Amino acid sequence: MTATIRTIEVFADVLCPFTHVGLRRLVDQRAGRARPDVRLWVRSWPLEFVNGAAPEADFIAEEVVEIKEQVAPDLFAGFDPQAWPSTSIPALALAVAAYRRSLDTGEAVSLALRDRLFEKGQDISDGSVLAEVADLHSIEVTDADRTQVAADHAEGVSRQVTGSPHFFTETDSFFCPVLSVGRDATGALKVTPDQAGFERFMSACFG
C-alpha cells in the first residue's frame, strides 16, 4: 500500500537563518522517525517585499552567531557574510520552478539553496551558482516562476503569515516553532530553543 503524502507548507525567505534551522530539524526528525510520507512545500516569503529591502549581511551575521552559540553549533559551518546575496528573488523563483517539476525536486532544491548559502558560503544571487543548481536538477526557470514568487507572497499575506518561517500543517500553523527569538534589556539578540513549541510542531507534523 502506498502511504498518503502529508505536506507541510512553509512560507519563508531563502535568506532567513531561522528557516534553515527549522527545515533542517524537521528533515532530521523525518529521517529519525522513518516518515518519508511527510514532505515540505517551501513557499516564497521574500523579506525584501515585506521590509522594502533584502536583509543586510551584518544583521544576518548577528543572528547566525547567536544561533550557532545557543542553538545549532552543527549548522552554519561555512557561512560567509562577504558572499551575502543582494536579493533572494532569483533563488526563490528557482525553487518555484523545481516544485513545478515535482514535490521532491522542489524540496531538494529549497534545501540545497540554503545549504549553499549557510553551509558553503556561496552567493545564491549569483547567476552561476543558480545555474549550477538548476543544471543539477534539470530545471529551467520561466517568467511564470518569477511571477509566482510575488503570488506566493500575496497568498501568505491573505493567510496572515507572521514572518519567516511560518509553517502550516493539516491542523494548525506555527511561526518559527523551533526557536525563541528576542532581545534583552540591553538590546542584545537572544535566540534559544523553544522546546515546548518544537514538540507541539512535531506532533502536528507527524502525529
Give the whole-angstrom CA distance, residue 130 versus residue 123: 9
As given in the structure block, the three cell numbers for residue 194 are 523553544
Task: Taking residues 73-96, report their average pLDDT.
Answer: 98
Q: What is the pLDDT of residues 11-70, one digit of tens each?
A: 999 999 999 999 999 999 999 999 999 999 999 999 999 999 999 999 999 999 999 998
- Of the two residues 8 and 2, the one the predictor is more confident about is 8
Residue 9 DSSP one-character state: E
Task: Taking residues 162-187, report their average pLDDT.
Answer: 92
The residue assigned the cell 507572521 is: 162
Task: Taking residues 98-117, report their average pLDDT.
Answer: 98
pLDDT at 193: 86
Which residues lie across from 187 on neighbouring strands? none
Q: Which CATH class is domain 6-206?
A: alpha beta
Q: Residue 124 in contact with residue 116, Cβ under 8 Å?
A: yes
- Can you say whether the dihedral through the CA atoms of 67, 201, 152, 100 is positive or negative? positive
Three-state secondary-structure class, residue 38: strand
pLDDT at 166 > cutoff 70: yes
pLDDT at 84 > cutoff 90: yes
pTM over 0.85, yes/no: yes
Q: What is the mean pLDDT of the chain?
A: 95
Task: Taking residues 119-139, report their average pLDDT.
Answer: 98
Interacting residues of 36 by C-beta distance below 8 A, sequence separation 6+: 3, 30
pLDDT at 123 > cutoff 70: yes
pLDDT at 1: 45
The DSSP result for 135-190, as a single string, is HHTT----HHHHHHHHHHHHHHHHTT--SSSEEE-SS-EEESTTEEEEE-TT--EE
Task: Taking residues 149-178, report their average pLDDT.
Answer: 97
pLDDT at 2: 54
pLDDT at 73 > cutoff 60: yes
Three-state secondary-structure class, residue 192: strand
